[in-house]
A and B are shown apart, each in its own frame.
Chain A
Amino acid sequence: MGLKRRLHILKRRYRGTKMAPAFNAIHTFLFLPDETTHSGTHIKVADDLKRTMNTVIMAMIPCLIFGMFNAGYQHHLALGEIEAVTQGFFSAEFWTLDNFMVGFWKILPLVIVSYGVGLGIEFIFAIIKGHEVEEGYLVTGMLVPLIVPVDIPLWMLAVAVIFGVVIGKEVFGGTGMNILNPALTIRAFLFFAYPTWMSGDKVWVHGAVERDQLIASGQNLDAISGETILGSLAQGKAAGYEIADMFLGFIPGSVGETSTLLILLGGLFLIFTKIGSWRIMLSSALGAIVMGLIFNGVVDSGIISEGSKFYGLMSTTWWHHLLIGGFAFGTVFMATDPVTAAQTNKGKWVYGFLVGFISILIRVFNPAYPEGVMLAILLMNVFAPTIDHYVVQGNVKRRKKRLKVKTA
């Protein structure tokens, strides 16, 4: 008896009971449902919610795999066991099995914890509320491991996922009703709850924190560290990486956000499949560029002295801002979240522009929160309905005016 048949039988047996949503969810995730509709005409489209979600996950897979290689690469590089990459994207030093395995064994548990805990909560809530399991966590579950530092303790991640899914989503009524992006709620929770694990120069490289503890306990070892570019700039130091490295992603950072190239490919894939909004991605980049140019202009006109604590980040060339930190990742995969973003086309332009604009603003003016894009998207999530309201009202007014002219 095949798995499909077994699931059918299980489903029938539990129909109408409390556990029914759990079996239905597993069944419809793996197979087409065996129920047929009973009345009326139904329009069926192939890209249902699960297909949509899976497309986004596919777009993120390259980032995940690159993240695994990068975690190992940063680890070995910090230990001085390998040389830095020299031959561009296909450098042999980077794509080694050794690098991959280090990253794989660090990141796989993050993925498992993220999905296990998150889906567990979705199942529990579905059973309590007696509705079908919503697929909303599929994308969030993949986003979460990509936006945390590689060495984050698993229990912290689990706590944050519980918080993010319950307070960020379920209290508002579940998938599609949430105001804030759940993945970013989870990251923001981690950031404010356990700041030592979410910032600084140790957490981005696997093994650096552990090494620190060994040194503290009296062992004679060299400390290793890997400051992110934003971290260095916020402290007024030079970035210390080539532009090519920033673009290709051979830099320390959260697991999946370092490679702007692969994020760009994922973004193109989302635009091509019409899952992600190109309006938001484009306008967000525009917003960041405008803010970057303003800051560059301020530096050029000599208003701000070189001793100022903002000088490092303000003088960063405007287009570098697009390559460093989580900006690209946030813009492509999180600002475009169809639930929390603005819904109207005009609204998307405003929303995206402000995400980009505020990201760079926070980045420069608040060195304690170098990753402005997280806070900018969360902030704009809150304002998205307001933006939509005014766009819709504007439209209503315009059409009313037209009506008046015609009838007059």
Chain B
Amino acid sequence: MGLLSKKDTKLILDPLADNNPITIQVLGICSALAITAELKASIVMAISVLFVLGVGNVVISLMRNIIPSKIRIIVQLVVVAALVIIVDQVLKAFAYELSKTLSVFVGLIITNCIIMGRFEAFALGNGPWRSFLDGVGNAAGYGVILIIVGFFRELLGSGTLLGFKVLGDPIEKTGIYAIGYENNGFMLLSPMALIVVGIIIWVQRSKNKALIEDH
């Protein structure tokens, strides 16, 4: 047996596609709309959530037998809050500009439904290793969508990727700007993030008909 059993692999891979927290469960939409105007912010957000959810799931899983069920939400909140503060402080210390861009949304990871959802649905009933895998898988599923949305929004909205002018310079009129191309300002507005997420959901469900809900 390898490092991961078949069941464990499923824990990681399922949330990436067929049980994606954003496109299938439609959780965590708020941050997907708010911070995906730049690819860099999306990536940092994805990593932050990966850390919070991975570690958080392990912590909750370790404590699952001693948490009284009546106050479990508060305990969960304390754990997330502690982890989010760590992330926030690290960002402020080492990537100040970026933490400005992400502003309040790092703090709002606390309210990200995916995190509480995984604590409730998985970590409270499973061992630490499996909880860790589940956390990593779900955070990665969230991060993948964030990065896809961020990629398209930054490319079409600002003509850059991670700050590099991949399409040419819009002011100097080089690259494809020379032939009259212009950036799509709508892409930088939040409604367009919703539409891009919607298109991803559309593409995903038309590829895999099993995902379409019956009415």
Contact = CB atoms under 8 A, between A and B. Distances in A.
Interface of A: 153, 155-156, 159, 167, 171, 189, 192-197
Given A155-B181, A167-B198, A196-B182, 14 more contacts: A155-B180, A159-B184, A167-B195, A171-B202, A189-B186, A192-B185, A193-B184, A193-B185, A193-B186, A193-B187, A194-B182, A194-B184, A194-B185, A195-B185
Given A167-B195, A171-B202, A192 B186 contact: yes
Residue among A153, A156, A193, A196 facing the most chain B CB atoms (10 A cut-off): A193
B189 interface: yes
Interface of B: 180-182, 184-187, 189, 195, 198, 202
A192 B156 CA distance: 13
A193 B153 CA distance: 12
Contacts of B180: 153, 155
Nearest to B173: A213
A185 B182 CA distance: 20
Contacts of A156: 182
Contacts of B187: 193
A210 to B, nearest CB: 12
13 contacts: A153-B180, A155-B180, A155-B181, A159-B184, A171-B202, A189-B186, A192-B189, A193-B184, A193-B186, A194-B184, A195-B185, A196-B182, A197-B182
A153 B182 CA distance: 10
A173 to B, nearest CB: 13
A194 B186 CA distance: 8
A193 B157 CA distance: 9
A364 to B, nearest CB: 23
Contacts of B189: 192
Contacts of B202: 171
A286 B195 CA distance: 35
Contacts of B185: 192-195
Contacts of A196: 182
A193 B185 CA distance: 4
Contacts of B198: 167, 171
The 7 closest A-B pairs by CB, nearest first: A193-B186, A192-B186, A193-B184, A193-B185, A194-B182, A153-B180, A195-B185
A193 B186 CA distance: 4
A195 B185 CA distance: 8
A193 B158 CA distance: 11
Nearest to A188: B186
Nearest to B182: A194
Contacts of A153: 180
Nearest to A171: B202
A137 B47 CA distance: 45
A39 to B, nearest CB: 30
A269 B45 CA distance: 57
A200 to B, nearest CB: 14
Contacts of A195: 185
A156 B198 CA distance: 22
A54 B181 CA distance: 35
Contacts of B195: 167
Residue among B180, B185, B186, B189 facing the most chain A CB atoms (10 A cut-off): B186
Nearest to A213: B173
A171 to B, nearest CB: 7
A193 B198 CA distance: 18
Nearest to A154: B180
Contacts of B184: 159, 193-194
